[in-house]
Structures are given as structure tokens and as C-alpha cells.
Amino acid sequence: MRLTNRFLCLVAAAMISCSGGNNSIDLGDDATDSWNTATDADTDADGDSDGDSDTDADSDTDMDAGKDGGGDSDTDADSDTDSDTDSDTDTDTDSDTDSDTDSDTGTGADTETTTVCVDNDSDWWCADVDCNDSDSAIRPYAPEIPDNGIDEDCDGETDELACTDTDCTSPCSAFQLGKSYIGCEYYPTVTLNSQLCSNPMYQPPISQVHYAVAVSNTSTVTANVTVTIGASTVATQSVAADSVALIFLPWTGLRTSISGTVKVTDGAYHLISDRPVTVYQFNPLEYGSGGLYTQTNDASLLLPVNAWGKAYMVASRNTWIWNTSNLPGFYSVVAKEDNTTVTITSSATGTAIRQGAGLTSNSGNVTLNSGDVLQVLSGTFATDDLTGTLLTADKPIQVISGHDCTFVPASVGYCDHLEESMFPIPTLAKEYIVSPPSLPTMTQPKAFFVRIIATKAGTTLQYDPPNGAWPTGIANAGQYVEIDSAVDFKITASEPVLVSQYMKGQDAGGSSGDPAMALAVATYQFRTGYLFHAPVNYEKNYVNIIAPTGSSVTLDGNAVTAWTAVGSTGFGISRVLFASSGNGNHKVESDEKIGITVYGYGQYTSYWYPGGLNLLEVW
């Protein structure tokens, strides 16, 4: 608990005042390295609603503040990047000067003392604080393994997390489950998708398409699943060992609640299994029926209750305006326990919302009971974007965010629904590898957008392969930069970041698909195996596999042999097209930890989701 409270204070300090806290980083010597960052940001200031990185990253961080003992002044030249295609140039003419306030004695050049981080096990913790720098499983905040005599989290105590629950041995006990995308209790939640089946001339009736969850059972025995909403049981299902079952669930009013922000009592489904399972939700599952197409779909990996957290950052996109349409981004918050207080802190772009549920802006407190849903919608202007909103709570919560329906980019057709489960901030890390999606009609992957959202001020960025045109820093927590790329690349950040990926619309090329959204998984959270579902009614389904060079990887028992190197990272990408047959269930296994993303295309629609991950608390 002491670590959680300290963490929440540090995160909130980047966006609001946090009593007793400061926004400094102790590098392990007698000095404190304070981040001096400018607060100006001209994010998408041209108002074209493309969400691109018209962002002044303002890299005026005085990295030697308090270190050099000198009265020097570090003056930066701001560099603004306009990566959209509207031909606008956003110029920042300010000049930020960070002056050291300490004083020298004598004359001549200052002597700077540089603190070098030695990290032999590549776990992001320097040797001076890592109590075993030869083992990446041993580091500050690492999960403690009981009864082994080892201090995994470097707090000076061993085995302090031995199970004290009444149930320590059953497969669904919190002690046995740990923290990953595998669990026994989930809250599937319908999200805003107002354009689904809204035009009977081109789209099938809503009765012919389904909100569905895919339940994957990787155990060796049958899992028995029950789904309720409020006091009503709506489905029961047995899921055979090593298989995936689809469960259709009724749509709820959240799908069409576009007029304003709402709080819905018992608005989420409650799924309980007697064996560990993984769950993905599809909104909707089908992309076509009776010769007509839904045209607005996406899918989400759901996080089990055992992996929920108390702090999240939102990834979304700008409100999208087209002709008479004014469609918002959203985030949905679900509580597991009664009397859960959720605190909302707006980002610079997300202040305005469509009012409701007692909220007049994207800031304030809302109390939820078990199963309640708070769905917040972005404002009515094209510059309104909920991305970077900070959500904290006094009890664990689930957060799903995305967009009702939008072009990506804002001027390229056509509109599609976006949604994805957000990962708790303590599980975010500093290293990600992202890979654009493939299409059978294109010899190269289709370009995508990658949005990098800072959790802390003064975040610097590096890329492999390098690209001098890409942003190298983010000034403040909750701000973001966005990269338009058709190549695989690695992101290395100085602070933990949230990374969201977006498919472009069908008219951007490839003659298939439309926008979809998936969070990137940090390499630290990779796993050695995944069981997942790819709907066979889509025209094409793929899996992108990210693996260390030389790994032995199989897909459905067959060796994966075609790899493309990612710069000099030591990782490769394999893009595998599935056959449009069978039941859509697939398994990826490896002798080393790997990451996967799963996606599919239909005419003017698509879906995309991360295939799974560990959810260990990194910081």
C-alpha cells in the first residue's frame, strides 16, 4: 500500500498539485535533478482535427540542473513538428531559458558530474538501486515470490507476500492468478458505437449482428462460465480445455448513448469462470450479414479483475465532424467494488465533454458501485480529445477507451469504431516495438499512426531504426506525439509511456479495412504463449508476431520462419495470414517471450487487439 500511495502522488503531481510531493528524480547522489519544462503546447492548433503531432515538444529540459554547480544558462531552440498533411505550418516563436540558480566560485568552465546508469540485466533499474543487477526478475517493485528466501522487490524483506488468504491453492485464487491477462472474473462492457446498423440501405439490422465475447481456456480441464448483468443471469457456457468459445450477449443502451456523458447502474456484464480464462470482446463480432456490411467494428482484450489498477491514462482521438455528423471519443470506467471513488484529471486537449452524470467538464469525482459504468464523451469541437486524461480511484477499476466512429486521419475515409482496454499506469514501461498491419493487396505493410502519450514531464524519445524527422520529446504528462509510419520500429522513452496504434481508413490504400485501435505491449510484458480467436467471417485475418532473433516460434503447431528484422533491436516481425476456414481459434508458442497483435479486415471495417500480455507493475 505504501508503494501505491507514493505512485499515485507522483503521477498526479505531473498534472495537478499533489500534497507533500514534488516532480523530481533522485539519481542517487546528493543533488536533485529537477525537470524544468515549458507548459506551452500547440497540439493540433490548426484545428483540422487530424490528431496529428502538431505538438510543440519543447525539449527545454535542463538535464544538468543542480548538477554542474555553475551559473550557466541552457537555452533551447523549440522545434515544432507538423506531421499532418494539411500543409499548415505551426511555428512556435517563444524562447525558453532554463537558468541554473546555483553559483560557482572561481573562474573557468564548470565541471559537471555525470551519473552513469549501469543496468547489466536490462530491467530498467540501475545497479545502485537494483539489489541483484544480474537477474531481471529481481528489481524494485518486482513481484515477490513467497517461500524462496529471495528479496525480489529489493525492499530488504524476503517472502513478505506469502499467501495469507483463506484460499491460496484454488486455480482462481488471487494468489495463484498473479497479474496477467488471464483470470477468472471479467466485466465485458458495451461501448459507444452509434453508427452501427444506423443506415438500413447499406447496413444489416442490429438483430443480425452481435456483441460477443470470446472466452479462451488454456487449461487442461473444462471451464464453466456464467455471465450476469445486475441480478439476472444471461448466459452459461462450458469451454472445453485448450479451446475458445463465443458467447453472444444482448446489446445495452451504452451503444447508442451519444447525447451526453452517462452513469449506468449495473451497466456492465459480469463474467465468472471456475478456471482461468482469457476474454476478448467484439463490438460487433460480424462485419456483414445478408449481403450488407456493418462498416463499424473493433475488438478489445479485456483485463481480468486480478489485473485491474487504480490509475490509468486514456488514449482516444479527436471529436470527428463530417457533414452533419459530430461523433465523440469516449472512455468507460467500471467498478468492481461498491463506493468506488473515481477522480478525473483532464489533459490539455480533453477539458470539454458532453455533460452528464454530474460532470460539466472532464474533471471531478464520480462514485460507482459494483458493475456500474461511467461513459464520458468528448466535447463537440474538432479539437476536443480525451487523450491524456488521468483517471485514479481508491479501489481497482477497469477503463476502456476509444471513439464512437472516426476517420483516421480525419480527412481520409471511412469512419470506424475504435475501442481498447487501457493498461494500468504502473504496468507501462519505456520500451515498445510497434509493427504496421499487412494487407494482401500491398507488397509492404500499410502505414499506421502511433500515438505516444507521456505519463511524466520531460519524457525523451529515441527510435530504432532512427528517424531524424520524428519527435524526440514530450514536455508534459498527458501530452502526446503521433508518428505516421509504414515500417516496424522500436520506441525507447526516458519515462514510462502509453503507446496506441491506429489503422488508417480504407481510402488510404489497400482496398480493405478501416480505422481500428490497439495498444502496444511493452517488451517487458511479453509472454511465451497465447491462445486467441480471429473471426472467420472476415475477409482476411492476421497475426503480427514480435520475437527475439533466433527464437523458436510456432503458430498452430507449425514453425514460423519468415521474419523481418526491426533495425538493430535484436527483434524480428512475422506477419502471418490465416486461412479463412476452421473455427478461428489459434495458438502461438515460443521458447522466448514474444508479443502478438491480432487483426482482420472486411469491406470498410476492421478490428485489432493485442493478443495478451503480462501486467506486472514496473514502477
Pairing of strands 288-289, 243-249: unpaired
Of 2-16, 265-279, 603-617, the range with the lowest mean pLDDT is 2-16
Tell me the average pLDDT across 295-301. 94
Q: Which set of grid coordinates corresponds to residue 440? A: 494482401
Long-range contacts of 24-28 (CB under 8 A, 24+ apart): 27/115, 28/115, 28/126, 28/128, 28/129
Tell me the average pLDDT across 15-39. 34
In a domain, 131, yes or no: no
User: 324 CB contacts (<8 Å, ≥6 apart)?
Assistant: none
User: 37 CB contacts (<8 Å, ≥6 apart)?
Assistant: 58, 60, 61, 457, 458, 475, 476
In this predicted model, what pLDDT tens digit does every residue of 77-88 receive, in sequence order? 343 444 443 434
SS3 content of the chain, % helix, strand, coil (to 5): 5, 40, 55
Q: What is the pLDDT of residue 45?
A: 36
Q: What is the pLDDT of residue 154?
A: 85
Q: What is the pLDDT of residue 238?
A: 98
| CA nearest neighbour of 282 among 317, 309, 255, 314 | 255
* d(C-alpha 496, C-alpha 607), whole Å: 26
HSE-CB for 540 with a 13 A CA cutoff: 18
* d(C-alpha 316, C-alpha 299), whole Å: 15
Q: What is the pLDDT of residue 57?
A: 39
In this predicted model, what pLDDT tens digit does every residue of 548-598 receive, in sequence order? 999 999 999 999 999 999 999 999 999 999 988 888 999 999 999 999 999
Residue 573 three-state SS: strand
Distances in Å between the Cα of 584 and the Cα atoms of 133, 247, 287, 383 are 43, 14, 15, 39
Give the gyration radius of the chain's Cα atoms. 24
In a domain, 477, yes or no: yes
Residue showing cell 573557468:
108
Q: Domain range holding 575?
A: 178-610
In a domain, 101, yes or no: no
pLDDT surpasses 90 at 248: yes
In this predicted model, what pLDDT tens digit does every residue of 185-214 receive, in sequence order? 999 999 999 999 999 998 999 999 999 999
* Other residues' Cβ atoms within 10 Å of the Cβ of residue 376: 30
In this predicted model, what pLDDT tens digit does every residue of 112-166 receive, in sequence order? 444 467 888 766 677 877 899 888 778 876 766 666 778 887 877 776 556 666 6
Q: What is the pLDDT of residue 123?
A: 67
* d(C-alpha 609, C-alpha 600), whole Å: 10
SS (H, E, C) 414-441: CCEEEEEECCCHHHCEEEEEECCCCCCC
Tell me the average pLDDT across 494-507. 95
* d(C-alpha 60, C-alpha 42), whole Å: 15
* d(C-alpha 9, C-alpha 2), whole Å: 11
For residue 397, which amino acid is it? I
Strand partners, 485: 448
What is the number of structural domains in the chain?
Answer: 1
HSE-CB for 217 with a 13 A CA cutoff: 23
Q: What is the pLDDT of residue 137?
A: 79
pLDDT band at 619 (very low <50, low <70, confident <90, very high): confident
HSE-CB for 419 with a 13 A CA cutoff: 28
pLDDT band at 56 (very low <50, low <70, confident <90, very high): very low
In a domain, 83, yes or no: no
pLDDT surpasses 80 at 26: no
For residue 2, which amino acid is it? R
* Other residues' Cβ atoms within 10 Å of the Cβ of residue 320: 23
In this predicted model, what pLDDT tens digit does every residue of 373-422 receive, in sequence order? 999 999 999 999 999 999 999 999 999 999 999 999 998 889 999 999 99
In a domain, 507, yes or no: yes
Distances in Å between the Cα of 214 and the Cα atoms of 201, 222, 335, 532, 594 are 30, 15, 22, 8, 22
Pairing of strands 55-56, 33-34: unpaired
Q: What is the pLDDT of residue 155?
A: 74
* d(C-alpha 239, C-alpha 221), whole Å: 9
| CA nearest neighbour of 171 among 220, 208, 211, 125 | 220
* Other residues' Cβ atoms within 10 Å of the Cβ of residue 223: 24
Distances in Å between the Cα of 279 and the Cα atoms of 113, 497, 522 are 51, 25, 20
Q: What is the pLDDT of residue 160?
A: 56
| CA nearest neighbour of 60 among 96, 19, 32, 87 | 96
Tell me the average pLDDT across 52-80. 38
In a domain, 230, yes or no: yes
In a domain, 619, yes or no: no
Handedness of CA 558, 564, 565, 571 (dihedral sign): negative
For residue 35, which amino acid is it? W
Q: What is the pLDDT of residue 573?
A: 97
pLDDT surpasses 60 at 237: yes
Q: What is the pLDDT of residue 369?
A: 98
HSE-CB for 491 with a 13 A CA cutoff: 35
Strand partners, 331: 376, 401
Residue 595 three-state SS: strand
Q: Running DSSP on this structure, what letter comes out for residue 158?
A: S
> What mean pLDDT, rounded, does the chain reach?
83
| CA nearest neighbour of 192 among 371, 324, 373 | 373
Between 49 and 475, the more confident residue is 475
**How many percent of the chain have pLDDT more than 90?**
64
Q: What is the pLDDT of residue 336?
A: 98
Let me know: does 437 contact 544? Beta carbons within 8 Å: yes
Let me know: does 120 contact 131? Beta carbons within 8 Å: no
In this predicted model, what pLDDT tens digit does every residue of 444-459 receive, in sequence order? 899 999 999 999 999 9
pLDDT surpasses 60 at 61: no
Q: What is the pLDDT of residue 146?
A: 62
DSSP string, 180-236: BS-EEEE-------TTTT--TTTS--GGGS-EEEEEEE-SSS-EEEEEEETTEEEEE
Distance of CA 249 to the CA centre of its chain: 25
Of 103-107, 254-258, 369-373, 568-572, the range with the lowest mean pLDDT is 103-107
pLDDT surpasses 80 at 472: yes
* d(C-alpha 594, C-alpha 524), whole Å: 10
In a domain, 15, yes or no: no
* d(C-alpha 447, C-alpha 79), whole Å: 24
Q: Running DSSP on this structure, what letter comes out for residue 8?
A: H
